Amino acid sequence: MPVRYREQAMFYTDHYAVYKSMIPPTQHRVISKLARKTNHGKRFNCTLRQRVSQLARGTLSFSKNLANHIEAIKYFIRDYNFTKWATLPE
């Protein structure tokens, strides 16, 4: 992940204790499930798993090579962003 993204990203998580040790406090916001701010991230993760079959171990296209996983995710994100932003009205 580019340094610029890592420095500016905000992380909204639930109250799971491990997040406090993994995410810098300046970028971490703990929220309750009632705030419903994690649903976009969870929806994207679900879409990623469904559309990039290499990530699902039970499929025939599952890859054991990390480089293949990374490239498949990059390709998906580029395509996802292009199709999402290309269809927005001006």
Q: How far apart are CA 22 and CA 17, in angstroms?
A: 9
pLDDT tens string 26-80: 888 888 777 666 777 778 778 877 777 666 666 666 677 788 878 888 888 888 8
The end-to-end CA distance of the chain, in Å, is: 29
CA angle, residues 84, 9, 88, in degrees to nearest 5: 15
User: Rounded to an integer, what is the distance from CA 41 to the centroid of its chain?
Assistant: 6
Spatial neighbors of 80 by CB under 8 A, at least 6 apart, are: 47, 51
Question: Which position has the higher pLDDT, 69 or 89?
Answer: 69
